[in-house]
A and B are shown apart, each in its own frame.
Chain A
Amino acid sequence: MQRSWETIIGLEVHAQLATKAKVWCGCSTEFGAPPNTQTCPVCLGLPGALPVLNAQVVDFAIKAGLALGCRVNEKSVFARKNYFYPDLPKGYQISQYDLPLCEWGTIEIGTGDEMRAVRVRRIHIEEDAAKNLHGVGEGVSVIDYNRGGTPLIEIVSEPDLRSSAEAMEYFKSLRSILIYLGINDGNMEEGSLRCDANVSVRPRGETDLRTRAELKNLNSFKFLKDAIDYEAARQASAYEHGEAVVQETRLWDSAKGETRSLRTKEEANDYRYFPDPDLLPLEVPEARVAKVRETLPELPRAKAKRYAQEKGVAAADAVIIAGDPAFAAYFERCLEAYRDGKRLGKWFVGELARVLNEKVTSLATLKFSPADLAALLKLVDAGTISNSAAKDVFAEMVETGEEPRKIVERKGLAQVSDASAVEAAVDQVLAANPSEVEKYRAGKKNVIGFFVGQVMRAMKGRGNPGVVNDVLRRKLEG
């Protein structure tokens, strides 16, 4: 039954901007300082304190807007979002409401025929809240105001996403862009990048949107995917059982693997937004936008296209490689020493990414150089070692940083391509298996696979498969 339901998803992503100072005061934004050491009258909301906009925040937000192809509004307005909570010192959050800084951009997901542009409705500037820490003592909660007033941009998509996989891809793509721009560190564990998902379902073919739930606490790609899958199934099941889906905010419980209601629409705050009278409307002249535009780096999608078109990298590989600025930079260094982009790309996405992942290490700490990696691939190209041997050599390079040629020599991994050495092994195998030889000669040609295996075993895996094949055929058919 579930297959007849379509999932509709829109994402709201909160990205802390990597400015040194907070958005309304000069306090440091550095993560991990002792509690309440990075505060002042302004970010503590003391009586009489007033906000002053950090200009770098605006430039960073413009950068994000331009990278997503948004229109940057010449005039935008800071508004107060009023609600009571201990992590919100002023009793309101300064945000942007009906006039955000950036509007209407797109983020590409998928490749080739599958490529889609997901619409971004708006990007606005706001301030982060402080951090409540519960259960410090019995019935005691404490607050660390260090995070309060850290600049955020909220990037809101249209409900254009149709599966948890698409949502994840969108989020990954956005994360990659923000990291490229140098305006966010992409760290979801520390909460500098956070995501809420608006999820609804409808029978396939229906065009109107149904009631949505807003999912919170999705602080990893996996949680995002799992929460959407759970929630879509929950809503579909509700409709199938004739129950209603209510508009509400739901919290993802990763331990239980379920979403649960936090508050319904009726319980929701009336935020009483109004323009913040402490701040003038934000005016961004075209010249300022142009200046920021000059600082834009090549973005991941453009880079991926360039890799595919100019270097022959497979489109899907190119997206993955270009997705991470450090990875892409390393790829380009390797390309200087090894021209076959397609093969290099495969190796990056396969072996290198796996190693980085498994060893939880970074490119910066690799013990070998791009030239070594190029040398390794050249050994395969030259037929000196097999592809599978190359993987062993690579594992050694990761561990020791030793040059690939030396590893090959030391471990005796070089392929035997010398026909006479292969012939000896072939002769031995054919002599030991007369009945199989008969079968082959009677027309059962696929027995060749058996012989290749036997010969390779006899040669301890070092026979050049091409040469082995050639010699076998010649002997069997001759």
Chain B
Amino acid sequence: MSIETELLAGTIEGAAAALAGGATTSAKLTQAALERVAAVDPKLHAFLTIDEAGARGQAQASDARRAAGQSLGVLDGIPIALKDIFCTKGLATTCASKILEGWVPPYDATAWAKLEGAGAVNLGKLNMDEFAMGSSNENSAFGPVRNPWDLTRAPGGSSGGSAAAVSARLAFGALGTDTGGSIRQPAALTGLVGLKPTYGRVSRYGVIAFASSLDQVGPLARTVRDAAILLRAIAGHDPADSTSIPAPVPDYLADLEAGAKGLKLGVPREYFVEGVDPEVERAVRAAIEVYRSLGAQIREVSLPHTEFATATYYLVAPAEASSNLARYDGVRFGYRSPRAKGLLDMYRKTRAEGFGDEVKRRIMLGTYALSAGYYDAYYLRAQRVRTLIQRDFEAVFREVDALVTPTSPTAAFRLGEKIDDPLQMYLADVFTIPASLAGLPGMSLPCGFTASGLPIGMQLLGRVLDEAMLLRLARAYERETPWHARAPAV
């Protein structure tokens, strides 16, 4: 096994040390990553676009910087990959939709621009549910992604390609987006650390919108430290995104090793209910005991409006999506139906042929929720419930520093298992949605395996802008447990 292959199975920090010490180069590391993508990805279908030339160019530039003594830091020369929802200048960006097939953005998303500015190497664009709508990655217009732990199972979604690529050691880390759980749920189902920051912590500029008031960019990584490194690189105010928060970015690695002693952890009873797989519940409860043993105070808390979160989400998110997706009209970019005659027909056929079923379903849901006569009953009421859910969290965060819950009610489910039952699929995000509605940071980290060898994730939820607390708690647990070190045998 070459040193690069060995490094590829490890962490960003490990590779960065090898690069810094001259044990390898970014060009070699990137080549090894591209070779592994070529060998493994046909089984997974995590990548929609592999940018060999771009990656090699970036790697060479990184090596040249390093040779000149101008390394940009820990991410310089590290191969990562991006969910295909991030606009990349000169590189096709599809959002896994036929309607954007072949579209090449003339500009970069801020999050990618920041990573690029930190020296990261982009291997390519990762598969996802079309327009980030889905929890299994089966809604990709270009075919599903397979879970590296069991190729018959879904990697979760919508950032399923990101999760599969990092889990299968094709890339050191990846950027995903999370609207109702799209980073955390796939991270849980593939044994990764996935962090959805506070709404507004990372710029949405250049991230193709699904639901603007919920969408948030975050990292998927193999360790807590790697997640912290990636978050530190992409977080911060962006004048190009009016909803990004103008608050300074702390060094997320500074207090990372400070442990859990004396911290107060809440266990919300609404997250341990019927429908949670017993193996999942057992693993999460065991994790809570680990925290107790580390000196954290554990107390049961209540978030009484939790049961309304999924219904609320499926009004707010589709409503925004119905408007956000109006720009895919065949006029300026992307797909235009060749069969259309006249303007109205062009709109109808372009959108009928260009969008997949789930996207159409949500556009219709959202259009309905915003329609005259229904707005008050659906959209407005959902916004009020959203406020109640936020208040639930505000109340418990006066008592505790963070919450511990399961990330997903089950481990990875089989491809095809839920695809014909949208409601069952929507319930896959029942524990991740509330924090999305409240705009709070949430994180998933590995906390065990099922008897059949599938990863289980637990979720940590924190106060606004308190990603550092989540990372610290996650790291405290990670230090005590072996789960993160296990890799799928793909």
Contacts and interface: CB of A to CB of B under 8 A. Distances in A.
A and B together in one complex: yes
Interface of A: 41, 44-53, 80, 82, 84, 86, 89-92, 143, 270, 272-274, 277-280
B97 to A, nearest CB: 10
Contacts of B372: 270, 272
A278 B212 contact: yes
A52 B212 CA distance: 14
Given A50-B240, A143-B331, A274 B379 contact: yes
Nearest to A25: B240
Given A80-B323, A82-B370, A278-B243, 8 more contacts: A46-B87, A47-B93, A47-B208, A143-B331, A272-B322, A272-B323, A274-B375, A277-B213
Interface in B185-206: 204-206
B387 to A, nearest CB: 14
B377 to A, nearest CB: 14
Interface stretch (B43-51, B66-74, B104-112): B104-112
27 contacts: A41-B107, A46-B105, A46-B107, A46-B332, A47-B93, A48-B87, A48-B105, A48-B109, A48-B206, A49-B205, A50-B204, A50-B240, A52-B239, A52-B240, A84-B326, A84-B329, A86-B331, A86-B343, A89-B327, A89-B331, A91-B323, A272-B323, A272-B371, A273-B370, A277-B212, A277-B320, A279-B242
A106 B109 CA distance: 46
B332 A45 contact: yes
Contacts of B163: none
Contacts of A44: 332
A442 to B, nearest CB: 87
A51 B106 contact: no
B327 A47 contact: yes
A386 B326 CA distance: 71
A89 B326 CA distance: 9
A279 B103 CA distance: 26
Nearest to B211: A277
**Chain B interface residue count: which class?**
35 or more
A46 B333 CA distance: 8
Contacts of B95: 47
Q: Which 10 residue pairs spanning A and B have beta carbons closest together?
A: A91-B326, A277-B213, A277-B212, A272-B370, A48-B206, A47-B208, A48-B87, A45-B327, A270-B372, A48-B208
Contacts of B204: 48, 50
B347 interface: yes
A92 B326 contact: yes
Contacts of A82: 322-323, 326, 370
Nearest to B241: A50
A86 B326 CA distance: 11
Nearest to A141: B343
Contacts of A41: 105-107
Contacts of B347: 84
A135 to B, nearest CB: 14
B207 interface: yes
A90 B209 contact: no
A462 to B, nearest CB: 72
Nearest to A45: B327
A44 B329 CA distance: 13
Interface string B97-137: 00010010111010000000000000000000000000000
Contacts of A50: 204-205, 240-242
A86 B346 CA distance: 11
Contacts of B212: 277-278
Nearest to B319: A274
B367 interface: yes
Nearest to B95: A47
A80 B206 CA distance: 20
A48 B105 CA distance: 10
Interface string B264-290: 000000000000000000000000000
A274 B382 CA distance: 13
Given A272-B367, A279-B242, A48 B343 contact: no
Interface in B370-389: 370-372, 375, 379
B20 to A, nearest CB: 34
A102 to B, nearest CB: 21
Contacts of B209: 47-48, 278
Nearest to A279: B242
A265 to B, nearest CB: 12
Given A50-B204, A50-B242, A82-B323, A91 B213 contact: no
Contact of A90 (B86, B243, B327, B371): B327
B332 A91 contact: no
Contacts of A47: 87, 93, 95, 100, 103, 105, 208-209, 327, 333
B129 to A, nearest CB: 16
A280 B212 CA distance: 12
B275 to A, nearest CB: 30
A300 to B, nearest CB: 36
Given A47-B208, A92-B323, A270-B371, A280 B242 contact: yes
Nearest to B367: A272
Nearest to B215: A277
A84 B325 CA distance: 11
Contacts of A272: 322-323, 367, 370-372, 375
Given A92-B326, A274-B370, A48 B242 contact: no
Interface string B24-66: 0000000000000000000000000000000000000000000
Interface string B320-362: 1011011101011100000000010001000000000000000
Contacts of A270: 371-372
A41 B322 CA distance: 20
A327 B206 CA distance: 49
Contacts of B325: 91
Contacts of A80: 323
A46 B100 contact: no
Contacts of A51: 242
A53 B327 contact: no
Contacts of B93: 47
Most buried by A among B93, B211, B327, B370: B327
Given A91-B323, A91-B327, A278-B243, A49 B206 contact: yes
Nearest to A24: B242
Contacts of B326: 82, 84, 90-92
Contacts of A273: 370
Most buried by A among B95, B107, B209, B326: B326
Nearest to A52: B242
B485 to A, nearest CB: 36
A69 B225 CA distance: 58
Most buried by B among A47, A270, A277: A47
B335 to A, nearest CB: 13
Given A41-B106, A91-B326, A278-B212, A48 B205 contact: yes
Contacts of B240: 50, 52
A280 B243 contact: yes
A1 to B, nearest CB: 38
B332 A89 contact: yes
Nearest to B205: A50
B235 to A, nearest CB: 17
Contacts of B87: 46-48
Nearest to B316: A277
A43 to B, nearest CB: 11
A356 B371 CA distance: 53
A168 B2 CA distance: 83
A330 B371 CA distance: 55
A278 B242 contact: yes
B247 to A, nearest CB: 15
A44 B319 CA distance: 22
B455 to A, nearest CB: 31
A138 to B, nearest CB: 14
A50 B87 CA distance: 12
A270 B322 CA distance: 13
